[in-house]
Amino acid sequence: MSPSRYLPAEWASQSGVMLTWPHADSDWGPFLREVEAVYRHLAKVITRFERLLIICQNEAHKTHVSHLLLRENIAPGRVQFCIQPANDTWVRDYGPICVMHNGRPRLLDFRFNGWGNKYPHERDDLIAQGLHAQGAFGDIELETHDLVLEGGSIDSDGRGTLLTTTACLLNPNRNPVKSQAGIERLLKQTLGVSRFLWVSQGWLAGDDTDGHIDMLARFCDTHTIACSSCDDAEDEHHRPLGALRDELGQFRDACGEPYRIVELPIPQAIYDSSGQRLPASYANFLVINQAVLVPQYHDPHDKLARERLQACFPEREIIGIDCRPLIRQYGSLHCISMQLPSGVLAPI
């Protein structure tokens, strides 16, 4: 790892969390009220611990969101608004990624192409530049890089090790002219990565990201990885997630020791109205200051996921968030949020 640059772990101290609030002119339109209820709950929980940066479409949208938050008794000083039109709300994948450079935060703006040109993304790809131009991050420098990279496709232990998947990062619909060695070289330079853990196993039905790591496996500390698993031998995920667990068990940490693997059994199958199975995952949790927010799906495994993550984060409060409305668009809690390390948000 470069001594002057590194990608903080999610459990590092944060100044806030960024959300793009859902709006009617998106795929959320038919069930906007349901998904807004998730965002309202999420906003109320996050502002207990840190600030929120909320991206709105226009002034009317900002006024609407402000009224919703006032009904939740959220203090205005806990929320910062920016107006920047977006195609959709998956800010984890198009928001800026923050590294520490010479002891100060620096924002990186990678290209976003709608998960391999599957969906409209032109507005989303401009979010980082637009927020920076509005002064949302004060005088923090923003670097732009000609590499397609989504925040949900990588996970950092804060000490130079990056966990990612071959299915996404090496997919020709992202960076077709770049080899694995070339991508590693770029991520070493931009993120300060020194070790790569390439995951080639694991899969979730309904996941349209080509295998984002934040649906499959996550660092909980430098020696612990939590992963999606399936304990139902009749489920289509039993074999691929078992292979994922076995592959993670072969990895070694920076000290050469095997990782402690914590299994998070996926919920029972959830389907949309067309019969498509939805990618429900507890690995899509969000770590914030003093708390871990865990997706919940009204499933018997909800409690088990909270208990196992409590053991991984014993000093943090574990809080469940109902994510059933979110997975109707094939993502969950971590996908709609982006944490901002300490020093990033400009004073209100």
Tens of pLDDT, residue by residue over 219-273, are 999 999 999 999 999 999 999 999 999 999 999 999 999 999 999 999 999 999 9
Q: Please tell me the predicted confidence (pLDDT) of residue 281.
A: 98
Cα 40 → chain centroid: 18
Query: Is residue 348, in this structure, part of any structural domain at all?
Result: no
How distant, in Å, are the alpha carbons of 211, 235, 262, 285, 340 from that of 219? Answer: 16, 26, 10, 11, 17
What are 334's two structure tokens? 């971590």
Look up residue 240 and give its amino acid: P
> What is the model's pTM?
0.97
Q: Which domain holds residue 68?
A: 5-341
Query: Is residue 318, in this structure, part of any structural domain at all?
Result: yes
Helix (H) or strand (E) holding 5: strand 5-6
Contacts of 203 (CB under 8 A, 6+ apart): 167, 211, 237, 240, 241
Query: Is residue 95, in this structure, part of any structural domain at all?
Result: yes
Report the distance separating Cα 84 and Cα 130, nearest Å.
Answer: 7
Query: Is residue 190, in this structure, part of any structural domain at all?
Result: yes
β-strands 154-156, 161-165 pairing: antiparallel
Cβ neighbours around 143 below 10 Å, total: 14
Residue 271 is given by DSSP the state: B
Query: Is residue 193, in this structure, part of any structural domain at all?
Result: yes
Query: Is residue 346, in this structure, part of any structural domain at all?
Result: no
Query: Is residue 347, in this structure, part of any structural domain at all?
Result: no
What are 276's two structure tokens? 């498509």
Report the distance separating Cα 284 and Cα 62, nearest Å.
Answer: 27
What are 316's two structure tokens? 């943090």
Reported confidence tier of residue 207, pLDDT bands at 50, 70, 90 = very high
Q: CATH number of the domain at 194, please.
A: 3.75.10.10
Reported confidence tier of residue 348, pLDDT bands at 50, 70, 90 = low
Q: 157-199: per-residue pLDDT in tens?
A: 999 999 999 999 999 999 999 999 999 999 999 999 999 999 9
Query: Is residue 39, in this structure, part of any structural domain at all?
Result: yes
Give the sheet arrangement for strand 195-199, strand by strand: 154-156, 161-165, 195-199
Report the distance separating Cα 155 and Cα 161, nearest Å.
Answer: 8
Nearest to 329 by CA among 115, 123, 168: 115
Helix locations, the chain, DSSP H: 32-46, 59-71, 91-94, 114-117, 127-133, 166-169, 180-191, 238-250, 301-312
Is 2 a residue whose pLDDT tops 90?
no
The more confidently predicted of residues 98 and 3 is 98
Is 1 a residue whose pLDDT tops 90?
no
Cα 247 → chain centroid: 22
β-strands 337-341, 14-20 pairing: antiparallel
Q: Please tell me the predicted confidence (pLDDT) of residue 100.
A: 97
CA atoms in the 13 A half-sphere facing the CB of 157:
24
Q: Please tell me the predicted confidence (pLDDT) of residue 3.
A: 59
Q: 31-89: per-residue pLDDT in tens?
A: 999 999 999 999 999 999 999 999 999 999 999 999 999 999 999 999 999 999 999 99
Give the sheet arrangement for strand 14-20, strand by strand: 79-83, 51-56, 14-20, 337-341
Report the distance separating Cα 236 and Cα 337, nearest Å.
Answer: 29
Report the distance separating Cα 12 and Cα 270, nearest Å.
Answer: 33
Q: Please tell me the predicted confidence (pLDDT) of residue 176.
A: 95
DSSP 165-177: EHHHHT-TTT-TT
Q: 118-152: per-residue pLDDT in tens?
A: 999 999 999 999 999 999 999 999 999 999 999 99
Mean pLDDT rounded to a whole number for the chain: 96
Q: Please tell me the predicted confidence (pLDDT) of residue 70.
A: 96
Look up residue 260 and give its amino acid: R
Q: How many domains does the chain have?
A: 1
Report the distance separating Cα 228 and Cα 231, nearest Å.
Answer: 10
